[in-house]
Amino acid sequence: MQHQNNLSKNVFSITVIVASLGYFVDIYDLLLFGIVKTTSLTAVGVSPENILAKGFWLLNWQMTGMLIGGVLWGIYGDKKGRLSVLFGSIFLYSIANIANGFVTTLDQYAICRFLAGLGLAGELGAGITLVSETMTKEKRGYGTTIVAAMGISGAVVSSIVAKLTSWQVAYFIGGGLGLILLIMRLGIYESGLFKQVQQQNVQHGNFLGLFTDRKKFIRYIRCILIGMPIWFVIGILIFDSSDFAKILGVVGNVTNGSSIMYHYAGASIGAFLSGYISQWLKSRKKSLYIFIISLMFFMSALPFMKGITSTEFYWFVFFFGIANGYWAVFITTATEQFGTNIRATVTTTVPNFVRGSVPILTTVFVVMNNHIGIMNSALILGFSTMSIALAASFFTKETYHHDLDFVEE
């Protein structure tokens, strides 16, 4: 078929690079709010005792935008094309972030966070879908790995930028990066697979079909469950690392911002390793097994970190990040599970639903914490999500050798 002649063997193609930078901007913004939360909320008039509550309120606005955007951009990508999402999503994000630097009230802040989340929701899914559909089956795992690994490093950059500039400038930089990326995207082309399928008499972007067809629904839920441990670790263990450090009696000061930076530095390495291992073993599933079991090991080791120094704690967080870096294989697996006519919808909604699981996980964690304490709650909830992810990986179909030239009826 014509599409086969258009497949790229170059893992550093302009498509891969642009998709990588898109995910870089995604992670930069996602973590930036958490890092500048206190200073920015103080600047818009929030009192110290209300910063925690208002911070969660704004985060919920951002995550709501990402959940809604994930569905909308995914459907749009399957109906109108992957490129249309890449252009529209980054434009909306850029404008929202630049506006965020000018906010003077909490309501203005909430609107900007919602719109930024709405824009960011399309970045990763559309980028990974486009990369997967424009590369050979032997090389696409390397392409998606580069996207994930480079993207995750955005968390490290956001931490550095936040330390060197004001919170307003940090948001301006994020928006400016988005506009530069928008210009760079003028040099990339639409997926040949999408162009072929667009002419076929099949439903495109049927999101509800993922829930009304039993087999599709099971495939879809498994993809989401595989990724949940990643955001359990980030959303509970890392975002609240200073509290865990106190419980463990860590000697020295531990801040959530520094923990985020070290964890994501490790996760960037983990993304490369997980993708490379999946290519080396010619198996997505085996790579998932290795990393999820590694997560269980670090989860088991957490209670034994009592009395260590803050430096040692950060090293632990870093290596925990390596084990938690299987995001590349997780997203690639989701992409390969579904046909071209709904692939963008799946690849865009799955990571956003995983992120959207954080409020559920934190709510359960808080309830458990009131009864059995912070460490026992973390261990039980952590092992539960990881065990479920391991089981979901086991029952998920191996897709390493699959061509992506197929559709869902």
The CATH number covering residue 211 comes to: 1.20.1250.20
Structure tokens at 160: 């550095």
Mean pLDDT by 10 residues, the chain (409 residues): 53 84 86 84 89 80 88 90 88 94 94 92 86 85 87 84 92 93 83 78 84 94 96 87 90 87 90 93 96 96 94 96 92 92 92 86 86 91 96 95 83
Q: Are 382 and 232 in contact (CB under 8 A)?
A: yes
Residue 160 in any domain: the answer is yes
Q: Which amino acid appears at position 270 of this protein?
A: G
Structure tokens at 152: 């995750």
DSSP summary character for residue 8: B
CA–CA separation, 316 and 262 (whole Å)? 9
CA–CA separation, 103 and 95 (whole Å)? 13
Q: Are 302 and 378 in contact (CB under 8 A)?
A: yes
User: Looking at residue 126, what is its pLDDT?
Assistant: 85
User: Looking at residue 3, what is its pLDDT?
Assistant: 47
User: Looking at residue 8, what is its pLDDT?
Assistant: 58
Residue 62 in any domain: the answer is yes
Helix/strand/coil for 251 = strand
CA–CA separation, 178 and 26 (whole Å)? 9
Residue 216 in any domain: the answer is yes
Residue 257 in any domain: the answer is yes
Domain count, the chain: 1
Reported pTM:
0.87
Backbone angles phi, psi at 8, to 5 degrees: -100, 140
pLDDT (tens digit per residue) in 220-231 = 999 999 999 999
Tokens 């559909």 -> residue: 133
With CA atoms as reference, report the closest residue to 24 among 135, 180, 227.
180
Query: Long-range contacts of range 64-67, CB-CB < 8 Å, 24 or more positions apart?
Result: 64/114, 64/117, 65/113, 65/114, 65/115, 65/116, 65/117, 65/118, 65/119, 65/120, 65/121, 66/117, 66/118, 66/120, 66/121, 66/352, 66/355, 66/356, 67/121, 67/352, 67/353, 67/356
Residue 339 in any domain: the answer is yes
Residue 273 in any domain: the answer is yes
Q: Are 229 and 294 in contact (CB under 8 A)?
A: no
Structural domain harbouring 197: 2-395
Residue 408 in any domain: the answer is no
Residue 404 in any domain: the answer is no
User: Looking at residue 2, what is its pLDDT?
Assistant: 45
